[in-house]
Every structure is written in C-alpha cells, then in structure tokens.
Structure 1
Amino acid sequence: MSQPDPRPVVVAVGDQPADAALSYAVAEAERLGCGVHLVHVVHSLPQGSELVRVQSVDVEDRGRHTLRRALDLARELAGDGPRVTASLLIGTVVHELVTAVEQIGDVRMVVVQHRDLSRVRRLVSRSTTGGLAARLRLPLVSVPASWTAGIAPAVGGVDRVVTAGVDEPERSVEVLRAAVAAARTHGARLDLVHAWGVPGLYDDPQLAEEVGKELAEAGAGEIRAQLDGLGVDFDDLHIEVHTPPQPAAEQLVEASRTAHLLVLGKHDPWFPLGSHVGPVTGAVLRDAQCPVLLVDPHPSD
C-alpha cells in the first residue's frame, strides 16, 4: 500500500485483531523516532479451477479488510506521531514476512502478537514467532493479546522494570547489552534473573543448601563480570541481580506480572532444523503477561 520510513518498527498483522502489538509498536516507534510498517500476509491458494480462483479473491478481500482495520487503529494510536504505512502480501506467512523485512533492509524490530492458543493447537500449527526467530537476527518482540500499555504495577517505588533472563552468563553478552539498552530507553530499573539448580546427587539437604548458595553467588559474580565487560556507563541505571532457584520459566513468568518488558536470548538448536525457541523461552512466551523481546545471542556482523 505504501513505502515504509527508513528503519521502521515492523508489525506482523495476523488474521485476528492485533491491538496489543499495534499499541506496543506505536509507542516504541514514538520513543525511537521512527515509523511503523504493518505487514499482513494472505495465505496463497493453488490456482486451478474457477472455484479456487473465486475463493482466492475472497480470501484476498478479507486480507485487505484485516489490514485496513489494523492500519486505521495504528494511525489512530499514532496521531500526529509516527508515520504508519502498510503492505499486503500473498504467500506463506513466515517466508513473506522474512522477505518483506529483508527488502526493507534496516528494521529496528519486528513485533508480533501472541495468540492464546490451546496446547494442542500449538502442537499442530507452526508458530510464527518460532519461524521468524529461526530466520531473523534482528530483535523480535512477542506481545500478549491481553497486554495493555501502562498496566504493570509499580515495584519498589519504580514505575517501570525491565527484566532479563540470563541463562549462561558467558553466553549472554548480547542479552545483557539489549537489556541495558531497553532499560535506559524506557527509564526503567533493570532486573537480571539467573536461576540455578543443584544436581540431584546432593541428597544431604544441608549440603545442597550450601552448594546452592555457592552457585547463586557464582552466577551473580559472572553476570557482574559480563556487565563490566560491556564497557558502558551504568551511572544512570539501577541494576539488580537476582539468583533464585529453578525452574527458570516460572521465575520469569512471575516477573512478567510486574515487568514492562522481558528480555530473553534465542536458543541455539542442537541440529540444523531444530527450534530457535528453547523450552524455557517457549514456556515464557506462552504464559508471559508482558511483551517479550527475543535477542540473537550472537554479535552482529
């Protein structure tokens, strides 16, 4: 429909209303001083009989209606702020979205809305978030459909909190870098969460407690060392390091109830076609109450 501004926030608009994703994207674009570009992909149908062609036209018309609704809402949210553009594509969802992002060239982030599907439906349908995570290295934000801007309660006198999950500190440099940038951009306190677990061979409760304490202290020390290695000034940031016991997913989902944003690293699959959304991240994406920023764990070229 229209050409996007340079370095926009891209929103993947699905078949269902994307009010939460649009609200988040417009707010981010206003904060970053850039435009918003909406992309809606209409599933392609094999062309053959007249009936199929009629069905294809009907589906495309519905796609245009869906995109128009999203565009009108985004422009209403933006007001005199960010410029909002849109494009309608035909094909397979993940492929067309990735192609659109690559053609734009320099995208700040891609925003998708998390659909509240049943576990069974998720097992039989490929996740758009998972597909994009596998093929895009830029920041990817999943926004729960129930999320509303500004609903997170204040914590300890701080209006906003950005929480980052730190799995292995030495492999989480990019997650820490993104979390620091997000906290600074949002004027938020930064909470870093590293969940530890005691191996099952420690049957003695007292010994297990001692080992757990050592693991917690070691994890916190490693995180602080990685922060120091970033070489940035933290004087304007309030950073807290938390080292609770596992399970990590439960700790992060609980944190999402009061966080403005969760920052997590994508997963390196064990085999080429494996998932780039690991079990912890997948569980958090499913149940998080706030937007989740997925970060590529590898430095940009």
Structure 2
Amino acid sequence: MSNKITAGLDGSGADTASADWAAEEAELRGAGLELLHVEDWPEYAPFALPLPEARRRWTDDLLADTRKRLERAHPALAVHTRRIDGRPVSDALAAAAAEAELLVLGSRRLGAVAGFLVGSTGSDTLPRTETPVVLVRAAPPTGATAGRKGDGGPVVLAVDLRSNCDRLFAFACEEAHRRSCPLVVVHGWSPPPVLSYAPALDPGVGQEIADGLEATLRELLSPWRSKYPRLAIDPRPVIGRPAVQILEAATDAEIVVVGRRVRRAALGSHIGPITHAVMHHATSPVAVVAHD
C-alpha cells in the first residue's frame, strides 16, 4: 500500500466535492492524491459511443482540469492522474483501492426525504475492497461547500458490540486525532419485542440495560483512550433504532464511520441495513470500514 489517497472521478458533477475532500484529507495525512477515471463507455446501441479520440480527450480534460483546480487550492499537495480501462468499473476501482490508504467516491443528492444516491458503482465497489471507502456528498444547491465542515464537529463512529470493532476504532480515533476534534462512539440497541412491556413492570429495566451497554462500551474503549490520551471520547450507548440514533448523532459530524463485515461468500448481503441507511441519509462524508 502506497502513501496516497485515490479519488474516483466520473465527470458527473458529483465528484467535485469528493475531489476537494480527498485533497484536504491527503494534506491531513501527509499523503499524495491520485485522481482516477475508469473508462467504461457503452459499446452497443442504443447508447452512443464517442470516437476513441473524443473519449480520450474528454477523460484527459476531466483529469487535467480537476488536477489544476486542486493544485491551485493546495500548492504543496502532490496530485497525480491516471486513466484506466475497466469493465466492470467496480473491479477496476477495487484494484486501485488496494494500492491506496483510502478510496474516495462521490454521491448525488436526492432530496431531504430520499437522502443521497450511492450509485451502483459505489455499492458494487464496497464489497470488493477492504480498503476504507469514503462517500462524499455533492454540494447542496445553495452552493455551500459540501464534504468537510471544518466547524469543530465530531467524528462519529457507529459500532456493534457483538463484532470485532478494532479496525473501526483505529480508523475513527486516527481521524479524530488528525482533526483535533472529539470522537463520539454510538451503539444503538433495539430491545426485542418480548421486553417491550418490561419497563412498565420494572422502571429500572431500561436503565439496567443502558448501564450494561455503557460498561461494555467503556471497556472496549479503554485501550484506545490509553493510545490517544488527549482525544476526547464520548461513548453513547442508546436504546432505539440504531440507524436513527447514528444519523441524529451525525448531524454536525466531520465524518461518520460505519462498518461493513467482510464476507467471503459470493452470495448474500455484503452491506448491513444500518450501514446502508447511514450511507444514503447522512449529510456528512461517510467512511465504510471493512472488519471481521
């Protein structure tokens, strides 16, 4: 793995914010930035296929223009470009991600209710790589800058206490440390229906569950507090629908970190429902980190 961040460009306009975010992240990490475009033009009717020369020129212009813009904004940043052929695009992006610290992709805004569209390329790439993938939102219609907020918001980490969260803790702690901002660790837990009437029978049941979750979470965080003694870590075990609780905590986040369990089987879901919901509805950049 080289000391670089790779940002995928598709020319749709959704990748402007993601390229900006990737450049700032590369500066924070002291890494280089690679701008990557994967050519995947339709070959058959009814889609029109540009001539090879026009296709190549369009791609070169996209990469060159983005590189010049970022070099003006970040004079000390080493920016490189690469154009590769790949079908499917997701396989090509995954191969490029294996050589990078981070893969950054853009997503489009759908609306206040629908959230954001993580296209098929992003959704197909995630299961194919164990490199962290960051999804950055397109700029809002008002013209305000999307992506990094820079207003002192926290890094928000969503964890499942039943999983091995070491990769998630390592990534989130380092992101918060780089930004000198707090780390909020959220574990949302929905009680099974059998317990739905328990609080009415014993008002202390809910508090007892919450106390147990907090104790477990604090124990898991103990070694990370030792490793990052100056990092403010705020554990938040909450009872309720996990996705809702995470999105609420992430309202003003610098970045939201969620997990994706590594599955070796070809069949079955590779992105859990909570991660899927956060990917499509969080307004902040979302980092998806693979874990065992």
State the TM-score, normalized to the length of structure 2. Answer: 0.84
Check 1:161–1:260 CA distance in 2 against 1; reply closer, same or farther (3 A cut).
same
Q: Which runs of 5+ in 2 are unaligned?
A: 140-144
Indicate the residue corresponding to 1:156 in structure 2: none
Distance in 2, Cα, partners of 1:212 & 1:85: 54
Cα distance in 1 for residues equivalent to 2:65 and 2:202: 56
Q: How many residues align?
A: 280
> What secondary structure does 1:89 align onto?
strand
Q: Which amino acid aligns with 1:75?
A: E
Q: Secondary structure at the match of 2:271?
A: coil
Match of 1:24 in 2: 21
- TM-score normalised to structure 1 length: 0.82
Give the distance between the partners of 2:231 and 2:79, measured in 1 at CA. 32
Paired position in structure 1 for 2:182: 189
1:13 to 5, 9, 14: 9
Show the 5 A alignment for 1:125-136. 127-136=120-129
Matches within 5 A, 1:127-206: 127-146=120-139, 148=146, 151=149, 153=151, 159-168=152-161, 170-202=163-195, 203-206=197-200
Match of 2:77 among 57, 74, 82: 82
**Which aligned segments of 4 or more residues in structure 1 are displaced greater than 4 angstroms?**
51-57, 268-271
| TM-superposed deviation, 1:242 | 0.9
User: Which one-letter code corresponds to 1:220 in the other structure?
Assistant: E
Counterpart of 2:273 (choices 279, 282, 288) is 279
Instruction: Give the distance between the partners of 1:77 and 1:43, measured in 2 at CA.
Output: 30
Q: CA deviation at 1:69?
A: 2.9
Question: Does the 8 A contact of 2:148 with 2:284 survive in 1?
Answer: no
**Deviation readout 1:143-185 (Å, 9 max, x if unpaired):** 11135355365xxxxx231110012255222212221111111
**268 and 217 in structure 1: CA distance in 2 versus 1, 3 angstrom threshold:** farther
What is the rounded CA distance, in whole Å, between the counterparts of 2:241 and 2:202 in structure 1? Answer: 16
Change (3 A) 1:234 1:71: closer
1:235 aligns to 2:233 (yes or no)? no
Deviation at 1:248, TM superposition (A): 1.5
Q: By how many angstroms is 1:129 displaced? A: 2.4
Give the unaligned 5+ runs of structure 1: 154-158
Give the 3-state SS of the residue equivalent to 1:236 in structure 2: coil
**Separation (CA, whole Å) in 1 of partners of 2:245 and 2:254:** 15
Secondary structure in 2 matching 1:112: strand
Q: Deviations over 1:29-81 (max 9, x none)?
A: 11111110010112144489xx9775454444333333233222222222x22
Of the structure 1 ranges 203-212 and 29-38, higher mean CA displacement relative to structure 2 is found in: 203-212
Q: How far apart are the structure 1 equivalents of 2:268 and 2:290?
A: 15
Q: Select between 182-191 and 223-232 the one with higher mean Cα deviation.
A: 223-232
Question: Greater share of strand residues, 1 or 2?
Answer: 2
Q: Structure 1 CA distance, aligned partners of 2:202 and 2:79?
A: 55
CA distance in 2, matches of 1:213, 1:193: 17
CA change 1:274–1:72 in 2 (3 A) is farther
Asked if the contact 1:111/1:143 (under 8 Å) is kept, the reply is yes
Distance, in Å, in 2 between the alignment partners of 1:45 and 1:191 is: 44
Retained in 2: the 8 A contact 1:152–1:259?
no
Percent identity, please.
Answer: 24
- Closer/same/farther in 2, CA of residues 184 and 169 from structure 1, 3 Å limit: farther
Structure 2 residue corresponding to 1:63, chosen from 59, 70, 73 = 59
